[in-house]
Structure 1
Amino acid sequence: MKAKIGTWTTLAALWLAAPLMAAPLPTLDGTPPLVIGHRGASAERPEHTLASYLRAIEVGADFVEPDLVMTKDNHLVTRHEPEIGLTTDAPAKFPDRKRTAMIDGKPVEGWFAEDFTLAELKTLRAIQPHPDRSKEYDGQFEIPTLQEVIDLVRAEEKKRGRTIGIYPETKHPTYFAQMGKDMNTVLLDILRRNYFHHSSDAVFIQSFEISNLKDLSKRSKHKLIQLLGNESSTPYDQIINGSKKTYRDMMNPDGLAEIAKYAYGIGPSKTSIIPIDKDGRTMPRSSLVGWAHKAGLRVYPYTFRSEPRHLPAEYRNDLTEEMKRFFALGVDGIFTDEPATGVKARAEMGK
C-alpha cells in the first residue's frame, strides 16, 4: 500500500485497514509525537551543554530539555542535579567545596551548584558521567545559563526556519526554597524578558513536585507537565506538607483528573506504561496513556536510551523498535538521549 501520509491520525487509519498489523493509537491531538532531546543529545555530548543542545537541534529534535538548578548568586544554570561533582571537573578545581547536603530529606555528598557563583561555575567544564559513553568531549564545554540556552535556540530557529521548543525542569524546587531561592520567580522573569508570554509558545515547564506547578499555573500561561516518579514514592513537597500522596495515586483516573486542573500533560517513566519484570522482560501495557488522554492530558514518557542495560532484550539492541512500540501506543512525545534515533523511528512510522 502506498499513500501520502498527511497526519498521524491518517497513519493510524491506514494501519487499521492493513491486515495482520496492529493499529497505532493516535496522539491526543492527532499530530506526530514530539522528539525531545533529553539533556540535549546527551549520548553524544556531555549533558546540559550548549554543544549537547545544538547537536539535538542539528539532528531534528523538536524540543531541548534544560534541567535547572540555582547558583549562589541566584542564576539558573543547566545541571541534572544540584550536585555537580559527577558532571563537571569541580572536584579537581574546588576540592575544598566538597560537603554533604540534605536533598529531599536524604544526605548527598559532593559539590553543589548553590555553593558557587556564576563566575565560579563558568571556570568549570562538563564531563560525561556515564561510564559506557565516550569521554572524548570531556573538559571542553562550559555550564550554560538558561539565558544562553534560549539564545542558542533563537539563533538556530532563525538559521533553520523552524520552531524549536524549550522544556525546562525545575529541579528540587522545595530544596532551593528552603534556602530562600524562588525558582519560579526567576524562571518566569527570564521567560518574560525573552517574550515568552503565551500558552502557544513552545515552552513546557515540568517538575516532579506539585506545589510549584500549581503556583506556575496561577502566575503564567505556560504549558505545565507533571512529572511522575517511582510509583511508591511521594513528591517531596507533599512530604513537607504532610501528605502521603504517592505517584501511584496520581496515575489513576481520579488522580489524572486532578492533574488536569493545573497541567497540560504528564511525564511518566516508560516503565509506568510498559512495565518490566524482574528478568528484564516487558509486560502487558498499562492503561496510563488511555486514562491520561481521557483526562485531556498529553503523555511524554522518559527516558529512551540504547545501552543494553536500558533496553529490554526483545528489542534486539534496536532502540528504534522500542520507540516505535511507544509511538504505536499514542504517546505524545518521548524523551531520549538519542534524538537522531527518535526522529528516525518517527519517520519510519510514517512511511
Structure 2
Amino acid sequence: MWRDPAERPMVIGHRGASGHRPEHTEAAYRLAFALGAEAVEPDLVATRDGVLVLRHENEISGTTDVASRPEFASRRTTREVDGRPLTGWFTEDFTWAELATLRATERLGGIRPHSASFDGRYPILRFRDLLELLDEGSDEHRRVIRLVAEFKHATHFAALGLPLEELFAAELAAAGWGRGDDRLVSESFEPGLLDRLVSSGIRGTRVLLIEDRGAPYDLVAADGAGARRYDAFVSERGLLGLAGVVHGVSVGKGRLVGGKPEPEDGAPPRRTRPDAPLRGSELVDAAHAAGLAVYTWTLRPENRFLAPEARRGASRGAWGDWLGEFTRIMDTGVDGVFLDHPDLGIEARRSYLDG
C-alpha cells in the first residue's frame, strides 16, 4: 500500500525538478520523485493531431531545439495567443511524430548553466508518458505522487478544434486513471475550462490559477473590457463566490510576500472591504474560511526570483536567502507550494515545522 504523506504544505515539483534538469523531461520528473516531491505539475498543450504534450507554452522555441532544425524552418510563424501576437514555432502546427524528433533545452540557461548542460539529451514527453512515469514512481517510492495538471491557453486551443478537456479525459481513460482519481488535481487560469472539466466527467480537485494582474482570457474573449479581473477572485466576496465551484486557488507568490506588512501581535486587525483583493495570511485565512485550499507559485532560490530583501550579492543566478523567503511563505498557512527544486521545499518545510 502506498504511503500518503500528511505534512503540509504539499511540496509540488514545478514541471518536475526543473531547477536541476530541463523542465518537462523524464529526467526532471524522475528526479522530482527521488527528491521527495509529493506531486508534480505538467503544463498541457496540444499537437495538430490532438496529442497532449508537456511544454511550458505552445510556442516551443525557448524549450526545444526546433529553431536549429532546418526541416522545420518554414513552420516559424506569427500567431495571436490570448489576444497577443507571438512569433515562433507552435505545437498546434506539428504532429506528435514531428515533435517527437525534437530535444528539450533549458529555458533559463543564463541563470541555470548546470541544467543547460543537459540540453539536447532528452526528448519531449506526451501527457500519457507522464502518467506512466507517475505510476512507476509511486510503485518505486511506495508513496502517493499526485498530478497537478495545468491547462494552457484553453480558449485558443478550443478555437482550433482542440478542446483540451476532451483530450485530457481521453488520455486519462486510455492510461487507466479514473476520472475521479484522488491523485488528480486540475488547474487553469480560465474558469470556463474548469467548468468544462466537470461536464467531461473529471471529478478530481479543481484549482483556479490567479495571475498578479489582468483578467482570465476566456472572460476577456466573452466580455471584453468588462471582464472580471483576477483581483476580484481573491477578495473576501470573490473567495466566498468560488466556494462549491472550485476546490482551491493558486496565486503567484507576490500576493503572499511583499506589499503591506502584517499587523504586529496585539494590533487591531485591518478592516478590509469585501471586494478588495487580499494579500498574505489574510488571503489564506479568508480562503480557508470559504472552504478553499491555497497554493502558491513559483518558489525559486536564485536572486532573480526572490523578493529584494532576500537577495544576496549582485549575480542574478546566485542563490539568496531562499530559506527565509520559503519559510515566510509557508508561515502564511498555504496548503501547497510549487518549486523548481523539490529538495529545497522539503528542507524549508522541515525548517518551518521545526521552528
User: What is the TM-score normalised by the length of structure 2?
Assistant: 0.86
> What residue in structure 2 maps to residue 343 of structure 1?
346
> What residue in structure 1 maps to residue 97 of structure 2?
119
> What residue in structure 1 maps to residue 82 of structure 2?
104
How far does residue 261 in structure 1 lie from its aligned partner after superposition? 2.4
Q: For residues 146-157 of structure 1, what are the structure 2 equivalents within 5 Å?
A: 146-157=127-138
Amino acid at match of 2:112: R
Q: For residues 51-90 of structure 1, what are the structure 2 equivalents within 5 Å?
A: 51-90=27-66
Amino acid at match of 1:220: I
Are the counterparts in 1 of residues 258 and 307 from structure 2 also a CA contact under 8 Å? Answer: no
How far does residue 283 in structure 1 lie from its aligned partner after superposition? 4.5
> Within the alignment, does 1:259 sit opposite 2:259 as a pair?
no
Please say which of residues 341-350 and 117-126 is displaced more in the overlay: 341-350
- Where do 5+ consecutive residues of structure 2 fail to align? 263-278, 313-319
Please say which of residues 236-245 and 84-93 is displaced more in the overlay: 236-245
Measure the CA separation in 2 of the matches of 1:313 and 1:101.
35
> What residue in structure 2 maps to residue 16 of structure 1?
none
1:161 to 112, 119, 142: 142
2:299 to 300, 304, 307: 304
> What residue in structure 2 maps to residue 221 of structure 1?
203
Deviations along 1:195-252, one digit per CA (max 9) or x if unpaired, are 3336561110000001010121343211001000123x01110011115200001111
Measure the CA separation in 2 of the matches of 1:255 and 1:194.
36
Identity of aligned residues (%): 37
Measure the CA separation in 2 of the matches of 1:196 and 1:36.
20
Q: For residues 1-351 of structure 1, what are the structure 2 equivalents within 5 Å?
A: 31-93=7-69, 94-130=72-108, 131-134=110-113, 135-197=116-178, 199=180, 201-218=182-199, 219-231=201-213, 233-242=214-223, 243-276=226-259, 283-284=261-262, 286=280, 287-315=282-310, 317-351=320-354
Amino acid at match of 1:294: A
How far does residue 314 in structure 1 lie from its aligned partner after superposition? 2.9
Measure the CA separation in 1 of the matches of 2:198 and 2:229.
21
Measure the CA separation in 2 of the matches of 1:178 and 1:66.
22
Quote the RMSD (CA, aligned, Å).
1.7
How far does residue 273 in structure 1 lie from its aligned partner after superposition? 1.8
Measure the CA separation in 2 of the matches of 1:202 and 1:326.
25
Are the counterparts in 2 of residues 217 and 224 from structure 1 also a CA contact under 8 Å? Answer: no
Deviations along 1:26-68, one digit per CA (max 9) or x if unpaired, are xxxx952100011111111111111111111110001111100
Measure the CA separation in 2 of the matches of 1:198 and 1:295.
25
Are the counterparts in 2 of residues 265 and 298 from structure 1 also a CA contact under 8 Å? Answer: yes
Indicate the SS of the match to 2:298. Answer: coil
Relative to structure 1, the CA distance from residue 200 to residue 117 in structure 2 (aligned partners, 3 Å threshold; closer, same or farther) is closer
Measure the CA separation in 1 of the matches of 2:194 and 2:241.
13
Indicate the SS of the match to 2:162. Answer: coil
Measure the CA separation in 2 of the matches of 1:343 and 1:215.
34
Indicate the SS of the match to 1:44. Answer: coil
Are the counterparts in 2 of residues 217 and 263 from structure 1 also a CA contact under 8 Å? Answer: no
Relative to structure 1, the CA distance from residue 306 to residue 31 in structure 2 (aligned partners, 3 Å threshold; closer, same or farther) is closer
How far does residue 157 in structure 1 lie from its aligned partner after superposition? 0.9
Amino acid at match of 1:33: P
Relative to structure 1, the CA distance from residue 74 to residue 180 in structure 2 (aligned partners, 3 Å threshold; closer, same or farther) is same
Deviations along 1:270-305, one digit per CA (max 9) or x if unpaired, are 1112235xxxxx854532111111111111100101
In the alignment of these two chains, the number of paired residues is 317
Measure the CA separation in 2 of the matches of 1:239 and 1:56.
36
Amino acid at match of 2:101: T
- Where do 5+ consecutive residues of structure 1 fail to align? 1-7, 9-29, 277-281
Relative to structure 1, the CA distance from residue 274 to residue 122 in structure 2 (aligned partners, 3 Å threshold; closer, same or farther) is same
Deviations along 1:163-221, one digit per CA (max 9) or x if unpaired, are 11111111000000010111101101212333333656111000000101012134321
Please say which of residues 47-56 and 282-291 is displaced more in the overlay: 282-291
Are the counterparts in 2 of residues 226 and 259 from structure 1 also a CA contact under 8 Å? Answer: no
Indicate the SS of the match to 1:224. Answer: strand
